Amino acid sequence: MEVTIGSFAAITLSVGANTLLFGIVGALAAVIARQRGKLLGLYLAACIVVFLLALWSAGFSVAFLNVGALAVAFLLYAVPFLTVFGFARKG
């Protein structure tokens, strides 16, 4: 039996989950900012989590996965990681 939680609840849950995920990733990035390899590993881990969530939401079917949107998202996710690394190198 499927249950629909409604648009407002779905949006609230989505925003809350993203805030939690990227809050944790951001805190970890701040701790390991000077270690390029670990920062890259954290970026890759965040991309893998997002990919798996996208795959799950597509019913584990690559045919329904929006690869273009994922590629753009992964490129945009790189911006804060590069910014953190750049600030850490200067300071």
Domain tally, the chain: 1
Under the banding of pLDDT at 50, 70 and 90, the label for residue 1 is low
| Per-residue model confidence (pLDDT) at position 88 | 84
| Per-residue model confidence (pLDDT) at position 74 | 94
12, part of any domain: yes
Helix (H) or strand (E) holding 6: none
5-57 pLDDT, tens digit each: 888 988 898 899 889 988 998 899 888 988 889 999 999 999 999 899 889 88
| Per-residue model confidence (pLDDT) at position 42 | 92
16, part of any domain: yes
55, part of any domain: yes
